[in-house]
């Protein structure tokens, strides 16, 4: 059932790209990719994705939430924006409120987005300050 759905989506995608000869390249922007493993990781992703949907001007920014299990300690969540680490947090094995960590992650992402746009808008600035 799942493979049939994926096959249909792939066929529709191929048909779409074949019929759009004007577009040289197809770009998908503003994605949040979930690579979490645990229930806490999935909950973090769900809450972050809800805030991400409300954020304007996300085109050009893709977020990946990756979770790594740390034996006997819990998990490590890493947020990457366009393949650059933006936020890292550690979650214990017990349930705990995630609201504050999700807000911190969103603020970190917004700050990184602003810095990225600032670097793109001022190409005459040297990266090393000279």
pTM: 0.69
Cβ atoms of 80 and 34 within 8 Å: the answer is no
pLDDT score at 76: 93
Beta bridge partners of 45: none
pLDDT score at 93: 78
Which of 38, 35, 34, 32 has the alpha carbon at shortest distance from 91? 38
Cβ atoms of 41 and 65 within 8 Å: the answer is yes
**Rounded to whole angstroms, what are the CA distances from 35 to 26, 55, 101, 106?**
23, 21, 17, 17
pLDDT digits (tens, 9 = 90+) for 68-108: 988 888 899 999 998 899 999 998 877 778 899 999 999 99
Kindly report the average pLDDT of the chain as a whole number: 79
Lowest-confidence segment of 3-17, 38-52, 80-94 by average pLDDT: 3-17
Rounded to an integer, the average pLDDT of 57-65 is: 87
- Residues 78, 11: Cα–Cα separation, whole Å: 33
């Amino acid at each position: 059932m799942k493979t049939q759905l994926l096959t249909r989506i792939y066929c529709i995608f191929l048909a779409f790209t074949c019929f759009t000869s004007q577009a040289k390249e197809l770009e998908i922007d503003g994605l949040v990719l979930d690579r979490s493993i645990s229930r806490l990781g999935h909950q973090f992703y769900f809450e972050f994705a809800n805030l991400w949907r409300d954020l304007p001007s996300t085109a050009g920014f893709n977020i990946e939430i990756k979770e790594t299990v740390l034996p006997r300690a819990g998990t490590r969540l890493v947020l990457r924006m366009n393949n650059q680490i933006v936020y890292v947090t550690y979650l214990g094995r017990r349930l705990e409120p995630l609201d504050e960590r999700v807000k911190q992650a969103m603020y970190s992402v917004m700050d990184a987005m602003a810095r990225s746009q600032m670097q793109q808008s001022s190409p005459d600035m040297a990266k090393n300050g000279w």
